[in-house]
A = this chain, B = another copy of it.
């Protein structure tokens, strides 16, 4: 694990707990459970609250602007609150029953309380940033609200794609740009924006984050098909079983290769997919070039991310840590 991630857990974790402590008890209980600060009965526990990648990036973003990492804590908390708003609500929308090896909040507290807790995290994120009643607070807040709107667009596109059989690769990349990359771009720039850094710095950091975000999504999609269960925490080929139109799948379907038709027929078949079907589908994606394309595209995005960083002056340790996190979250460990 990159060192910036461990620092983020130490610095941002307590600030996260303090932030959600502002919520009324019934709402706080759901949020504290979701973050792994408490069990379903409200007893304090220490469960994994996720990887703290976005907080780590936000702290580095403040350091990129020449400030010590603690000046990025509010921005880091805001980004992590927004990320968890999206998880709480997406788990309901996607009918997901498990997250971070625990039952999802809506399965424990009900759909209504989980909706409300998600709303609370989103509202709290904005309120925390606006508490700094200077223009810098407003800039950070706008940086976040723009990312939130793109994330919602991406989730809306994702829901709409599920009902379509003709999704293009361009549409799919655009969706990933909204759903995943926009918040990553925000995480990489909001610390600097909140400190009033020059636009060239903030833009380059956002560009870095956007490309890393796409590389991350491509990697996540590859792992969803070929990742080992020990690495992904999910059964092998889980995304194929769920018939998810992930990027390698859509690349294969749109490849013009002979395997595309059989793959399309398999994934839209009304019958349950057998293990044999899943292996066959994965092989068809490879044969149609979907896996190669996704690997090459992930590498290309990572290269663009590093080009974006190369365009700005940065302390060498900050540059190294940003690069280390980018490599960490795009590692293809099968």
Chain B nearest Cβ from A81, distance in angstroms: 12
**Set of chain B residues within 8 Å of A36, measured between Cβ atoms:** none
Of A19-27, A196-204, A217-225, A267-275, the one with at least 4 CB within 8 A of chain B:
A19-27
Answer whether residue A3 sits at the interface, using C-beta atoms and an 8 A cutoff. Answer: no
Chain B nearest Cβ from A109, distance in angstroms: 10
Q: Tell me which of B118, B149, B157 contacts A124 (CB under 8 A).
A: B149
Complex-state Cα separation, A113 to B92, whole angstroms: 10
Query: Is there an interface contact between A157 and B24, defined as CB atoms closer than 8 Å?
Result: yes
**A157 and B26 in contact (CB under 8 A), knowing A130-B138, A135-B133?**
yes
**Set of chain B residues within 8 Å of A41, measured between Cβ atoms:** none
Most central of A89, A123, A135, A159 by chain B CB within 10 Å: A123
**Set of chain B residues within 8 Å of A134, measured between Cβ atoms:** 135
Q: Tell me which of B93, B137, B141, B146 contacts A112 (CB under 8 A).
A: B93
| A112-132 vs B, Cβ < 8 Å mask (1 yes, 0 no) | 110110111011101100110
Answer whether residue A49 sits at the interface, using C-beta atoms and an 8 A cutoff. Answer: no
Copies of the protein in its oligomer = 2
Chain B residue with minimal CB distance to A154?
Answer: B24
Query: Is there an interface contact between A141 and B116, defined as CB atoms closer than 8 Å?
Result: no
Size range of the interface on A? 35 or more
Complex-state Cα separation, A137 to B22, whole angstroms: 24
Chain B residue with minimal CB distance to A27?
Answer: B156
Complex-state Cα separation, A122 to B83, whole angstroms: 16
| Majority SS at the chain A contact face | helix
Query: Is there an interface contact between A116 and B156, defined as CB atoms closer than 8 Å?
Result: yes
**Set of chain B residues within 8 Å of A22, measured between Cβ atoms:** 149
Answer whether residue A155 sits at the interface, using C-beta atoms and an 8 A cutoff. Answer: yes
Query: Is there an interface contact between A119 and B160, defined as CB atoms closer than 8 Å?
Result: no
CB contact list, A262-283 vs B, under 8 A: none
Query: Is there an interface contact between B142 and A127, defined as CB atoms closer than 8 Å?
Result: yes
**Set of chain B residues within 8 Å of A118, measured between Cβ atoms:** 115, 119
Chain B residue with minimal CB distance to A120?
Answer: B152
**Set of chain B residues within 8 Å of A156, measured between Cβ atoms:** 23-27, 113, 116, 120
Complex-state Cα separation, A138 to B23, whole angstroms: 22
- 22 A-B residue contacts at CB 8 Å? A22-B149, A23-B149, A23-B153, A24-B153, A24-B160, A25-B156, A25-B160, A27-B152, A92-B115, A94-B112, A113-B156, A115-B115, A118-B119, A120-B156, A123-B145, A127-B146, A127-B149, A130-B138, A130-B145, A133-B142, A134-B135, A141-B141
